[in-house]
Structure 1
Amino acid sequence: MQGYFEKEKENMLHLLERIVNIDSGSYQKTGVDKVGNILIKEFAQLGFIADVHEVPDKGNNIVLKHEEATNPSILLIGHIDTVFPAGTVAKRPFKVEGDHAKGPGVFDMKASHVMTLYALKCLISQNNDAYKNVYIIINTDEEIGSIVSRELIEATAKKVEHVFIMEPADLDGNVVTGRKGGGKFFLKIYGKSAHSGVAPEKGASAIQELALKIVQLHELTKWKGIHVNVGLVSGGQSVNTIAPFAEAGIDLRFETQEQGEFAQAKILEICSFTETPNTRMEISGGITRPAWKTDESQHELLLLMKDAASELNIDLGTTYSGGGSDGNFTGNMGVPTIDGLGPRGGNAHQDDEFMVISSLSERGQLLVKVLEKLNK
């Protein structure tokens, strides 16, 4: 098996270069669909049929199933959208430096799609029909909360017994067995402009009101398992004008669903009234990803993965993440879910993002071994 991945190394890197060198930010439909179409054609050569779910303003979501499959019991999920703006590829295209591949989205998570494809190719080369036991979802809006693809993910997850999220692994190769839930809220405050020197009493400062709210929102972090961060603020008209408008983006993280619902209620309560006279506010948003806590249903799947890793002389660790993924949805549903099966690397969402090339083989072999064991 190791020999197979070593033999295919250059082909894997060539495909990875093709899809990394396409700008595919979440709102760049043309680029996202271009990446999706390349992958559809690659999987079609293996006999996988694509069910394309059209999305008018974002990339089309894709479900793949082998033409000879009947009722697959495993779901593999991965996204092809990135966080990078149009033009990023022109500034820093795909490149190889030693054992590192670099480029926008190379680690999070385009390398995972290449690895998944070649893991299935490996199974086919071994005449092992485990490749018929999988659904694959390629979704296109994970970086913005999987708002459109969530329904498709949850509907497909109901059909299977196990879910693997092909998000990348950290440098240690740990798999993820739980994630915090999260929410996004957007606050707009309207005041009244006035000259700050001539007639400040005629104005009502939206920035003043926002400052009061920020303090109260951040105080919610004192509650166990809850973290609130006002990460974006803007407002005002000029330095010598009482601010007629201000807005903020609020991030919420929580460990249990109960904590999330409590925190959401508190955020909405805080933002339900103003304390600065002649101001008003609007609040939108809510919980976008439920909390996913490890439970007994997941334990058996994790043991199987550890056995597979042991056979490959891999010491497989686990981690709990504060970041969200599509695993929040399937894990919260109670479907046994393991996350972080992709290649190793680091610095996701940054200019120096990288993927460890040798881990394409290491993690690809692990996926092959796990699929083999679950197909017995």
Structure 2
Amino acid sequence: MQEYISSKQQEMLKLIEMLVNIDSGSTNKAGVDRVGSLLKNVYENIGFKIDVIQQEEYGNHLIIQHEEAVNPEILIIAHMDTVFPEGTAVERPFRIEGDMAYGPGVIDMKSSLVTLLYAIKALLKNNSPHFRNVQILLNSDEEIGSPSSKDLITRVSQGKNYALIMEPARKDGSLVSARRGKGNYTLNVIGKAAHSGIEPEKGRSAIEELAHKVIQLHELNDHENGISVNVGLIEGGSSVNTVSDHATAQMEIRIAETDQASSVEERMEEICSKTDVPGTEIILEGEINRPPMEKNRRNNKLLKKIISVGEELGIEITDTSTGGGSDASFTSAAGVATIDGMGPVGGNAHSEKEYLEVTSLSERTLLLAKVIENLSQ
């Protein structure tokens, strides 16, 4: 298998180039569907059947498994969308410089789509029966919180023993064993307008009330325990000489443990239940849209299995936690043993400097194939 994968590296790079040079931002349905169509054809050519989950607003999701698969126990998830606007691929297309490859989405996660495909091909080439034990979900909206696919992820997680998430490995090659959960909230304040020069006393400033709330909400930060509250966007008022009658704040919270969600939300609601500026009104809306992926006993047991496979291949496997979100949160919350970061090594995702370590392609493809074998035995 190692010899086969090594011999296919240039072929893998050509496919990565094709994928990177397709703009597939989360809101670019046509682009995401182009990526999906390309991958659908490749998987069909090697005997896999594809269930296309049609979407109106976002790209279609694909559920993929071999024609002979019966109740596969391993779920592998990768996403086809990127964060980049249309036209980015033309501005800075795929390129290789030395041992690094660059381009929009090259590491997050066009390269992962290819390593996954070739891990499956390697199993087929090696006459390993374990490709039948895999179900693949390629979704189209991970970069914006998986609004149309999170319920699908939860559904396909049922009956699975393991979930391998194809986000890239960290810059040092580490897998991801824990992720913080995330919630998005909107705080609307309604005040009363008045002329700030003629009759300011008749006004009730929504901006002033919002300022009090921003300070109070930020006091909920507890970085030591993995809780962060960030008001990232504010707007309000209509003119500089008018007491503002409206103001809005967009905020995000991050939590390290599932139990923290209710306590943080309760404290937010308590803060917003009373006003500091009499005569103003507060409306708080939002929810936790990604639960945390905790390094629990179930996930840690899977991690140890992967570390053991790495040792057999001469690959030192380390793990880390991150504040960023991924679909690993949904599979872990569904009770499936989950490990993330199973893609190749790279970094600077979501930026112009995003890169793939080309030398990690073969190594991580082989690791994935061998992990599939190990978990299937």
- For Structure 1 versus Structure 2, the TM-score category normalised by the shorter chain is over 0.9
Q: Which residue of 2 aligns with 1:342?
A: 343
Kindly indicate whether residue 89 of structure 2 is the aligned counterpart of residue 89 of structure 1. yes
Residues 174 and 341 of structure 2 are in contact (CA less than 8 Å); yes or no, is this contact kept in structure 1? yes
Structure 1 position 93, deviation (Å): 2.0
Take 1:232 and 1:93, find their aligned partners in 2: how far apart are those partners?
32
Query: So what's the TM-score if we normalise by structure 2?
Result: 0.94
Structure 1 position 269, deviation (Å): 2.7
List per-residue Cα deviations over 1:299-324 (Å, max 9, x = no partner): 33222211211122111001122222
Call closer, same or farther: CA 1:272–1:90 in 2, change over 3 Å.
Answer: farther
Q: Which residue of 1 aligns with 2:267?
A: 266
Query: So what's the TM-score if we normalise by structure 1?
Result: 0.95
Structure 1 position 203, deviation (Å): 3.1
Q: Please, which moves more after superposition, 323-332 or 69-78?
A: 323-332
Q: SS of the residue aligned with 1:152?
A: helix
List per-residue Cα deviations over 1:153-183 (Å, max 9, x = no partner): 1111112111101111111111111211111
Q: SS of the residue aligned with 2:259?
A: helix
List per-residue Cα deviations over 1:254-273 (Å, max 9, x = no partner): 12111111101222332334
Q: SS of the residue aligned with 1:309?
A: helix
Q: Which residue of 2 aligns with 1:210?
A: 210
Q: Give, as a single letter, the amino acid of the residue that structure 2 aligns with 1:99.
A: D
Q: SS of the residue aligned with 2:273?
A: coil
Q: Give, as a single letter, the amino acid of the residue that structure 2 aligns with 1:295.
A: N
List per-residue Cα deviations over 1:100-130 (Å, max 9, x = no partner): 2212111111110011001111111111121
Q: Which residue of 2 aligns with 1:294?
A: 295
Residues 107 and 345 of structure 1 are in contact (CA less than 8 Å); yes or no, is this contact kept in structure 2? yes
Cα-Cα RMSD: 1.7
Provide structure 1 residue ranges, at least 5 long, that are not aligned to the other structure: none
Q: Please, which moves more after superposition, 33-42 or 338-347?
A: 33-42
Q: Which residue of 2 aligns with 1:146?
A: 146
Take 2:65 and 2:371, find their aligned partners in 1: how far apart are those partners?
18
Q: Which residue of 2 aligns with 1:311?
A: 312
Structure 1 position 331, deviation (Å): 1.3
Task: Report sequence identity in percent.
Answer: 48
Call closer, same or farther: CA 1:12–1:219 in 2, change over 3 Å.
Answer: same
Q: SS of the residue aligned with 1:76?
A: strand
List per-residue Cα deviations over 1:207-243 (Å, max 9, x = no partner): 2121111101111114844211111222333334333
* Matched length: 376
Residues 226 and 260 of structure 1 are in contact (CA less than 8 Å); yes or no, is this contact kept in structure 2? no
Structure 1 position 372, deviation (Å): 1.5
Q: Which residue of 1 aligns with 2:234?
A: 233
Structure 1 position 293, deviation (Å): 1.6
Q: Which residue of 2 aligns with 1:242?
A: 243
Q: Which residue of 2 aligns with 1:48?
A: 48
Provide structure 2 residue ranges, at least 5 long, that are not aligned to the other structure: none
Take 1:49 and 1:155, find their aligned partners in 2: how far apart are those partners?
19
Q: Give, as a single letter, the amino acid of the residue that structure 1 aligns with 2:278.
A: P
Q: Which runs of 4+ in 1 moved over 4 A?
A: none
Q: Give, as a single letter, the amino acid of the residue that structure 1 aligns with 2:190.
A: Y
